[in-house]
């Protein structure tokens, strides 16, 4: 499933440089739909690689420190 790995690794790389982005900001930076970004964010969060926190109305994503 290399397409999944590509999307996930792109999100992880982006959040390494710019932690605390919203789903919309991640989608815009990676030039993908918000739905696709949301899918990958959900999978990464389920795997314990990301965590999300609400900041006002928006959910922000952060890497989990290992």
Task: Give the mean pLDDT of 26-43.
Answer: 96
Distance CA 28, CA 49 (A): 21
Distance CA 27, CA 59 (A): 13
pLDDT value for 66: 65
What are the structure tokens assigned to 27, written together?
Answer: 């989608």
Asked if residue 20 has pLDDT above 60, the reply is: yes
19 or 3, greater pLDDT: 19
**Which residues, 6 or more positions from 53, have their beta carbon under 8 angstroms from its beta carbon?**
59, 60, 62
Q: Tell me the pLDDT of the chain averaged across its residues.
A: 91
pLDDT value for 7: 83
pLDDT value for 18: 95
What are the structure tokens assigned to 61, written together?
Answer: 């994503």
């Amino acid at each position: 499933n290399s397409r999944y790995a590509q999307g996930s690794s792109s999100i992880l790389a982006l959040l390494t440089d710019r932690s605390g982005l919203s789903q919309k900001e991640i989608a815009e930076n990676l030039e993908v739909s918000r739905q696709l970004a949301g899918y990958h964010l959900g999978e990464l969060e389920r795997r314990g690689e990301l965590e999300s926190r609400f900041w006002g109305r928006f959910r922000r994503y952060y890497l989990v420190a290992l």
